[in-house]
Amino acid sequence: MATSDMGDIQVAERALQHHFADMEQQRDTASFGMWMFLLTEIMFFGGLFCAYLVYRASYYHAFVEGSQKMNITLGATNTAVLICSSLTMALGVRAAQMGKPKLMVILLLVTILFGFGFLGIKAVEYHEHWVNHEFPGPSFHFETGDPAHPATDPQHTEIYFSLYWAMTGLHALHMVIGIGLVAWLVIAGLMGAYTPHYYNPVENVGLYWHFVDLVWIYLFPMLYLISKKHGG
């Protein structure tokens, strides 16, 4: 036990960059840096949230009609998938903290699996919208599917779909990057890069992953739920 601890500390010391006084400063700095980065990410999505708010406030009907086309079952399933992936991610970080690299690798692999699961379900939804011409642009065509209630404001429903694709697309892009980052952790983890003394990358990628989950937690109700129309 003692020798392995010494080894851990050596790994950690190799990971200490020259301009930091000690590991604690390095860890705090890395973590704060990651939080600052997530702050910029919030503002990045913030521009889209702002557009959504403005148009939803102005063209309520169009947004209601657009959100009728959302598949709530798939959306809710995806929310659950992401929450599960967040759990495995959090447990993975915990395994790294406790010095259980194998457990960490397994948990991270499960996280990746959930990530692909999310993207797969999203792809099914995208395909559905695509074949229904619910993709903004010249080929956009919108029908409510109910002859008694033709589309009242297809123009602004198109904006709803523009925002839907932009927001979920950007979110999916973040998922893809996240999967890449977790894969990198898996490889580094297999090579024994992380110890209880040094696991900043795991922690930071974890923060990133949870943030992407967080964005979806808002996207799901905004796009799928709150414009739902009731009673016909």
Report helix, strand or coil for 119: helix
Burial of residue 187 (number of CB atoms within 10 Å: 0-12, 13-18, 19+): exposed
* Binds other proteins (CB under 8 A): choice among 6, 10, 32, 141: 32
* Binds other proteins (CB under 8 A): choice among 120, 137, 145, 180: 137
Q: How far is the CB of 145 from other proteins (least distance, A)?
A: 16
Query: Of the ranges 40-48, 111-119, 126-134, 173-181, which one interacts with other proteins (CB under 8 A)?
Result: 40-48
- Going by C-alpha positions, the residue among 173, 225, 202 that lies closest to residue 44 is 173
Alpha-carbon dihedral sign for residues 184, 189, 193, 196: positive
What are the beta bridge partners of residue 195? Answer: 198
**Containing H/E element for 182?**
helix 154-190
* Binds other proteins (CB under 8 A): choice among 69, 122, 156, 174: 156
> Residues in the chain, how many?
232
- Give residues 65-94 in contact with other proteins (rule: CB under 8 A): 72, 76, 79-80, 83-84, 86-87, 89-91, 94
* Binds other proteins (CB under 8 A): choice among 11, 15, 16, 61: 61
Q: Work out whether 230 is an interface residue with other proteins (CB under 8 A).
A: yes
Q: Work out whether 177 is an interface residue with other proteins (CB under 8 A).
A: no
The three-state (H, E, C) secondary structure of 43-92, written as one string: HHHHHHHHHHHHHHHHCHHHHHHHHCCCCHHHHHHHHHHHHHHHHHHHHH
Distance CA 92, CA 106 (A): 8
Q: Work out whether 10 is an interface residue with other proteins (CB under 8 A).
A: no
What are the beta bridge partners of residue 198? Answer: 195
* Binds other proteins (CB under 8 A): choice among 74, 97, 126, 133: 97
In the complex with other proteins, the residue whose CB is nearer, 28 or 190, is 28
Q: Work out whether 159 is an interface residue with other proteins (CB under 8 A).
A: yes
Q: Work out whether 50 is an interface residue with other proteins (CB under 8 A).
A: yes
Q: Work out whether 41 is an interface residue with other proteins (CB under 8 A).
A: yes
Distance CA 200, CA 198 (A): 6
* Binds other proteins (CB under 8 A): choice among 126, 128, 136, 188: 136
- Give residues 115-134 in contact with other proteins (rule: CB under 8 A): none
Q: Work out whether 29 is an interface residue with other proteins (CB under 8 A).
A: yes
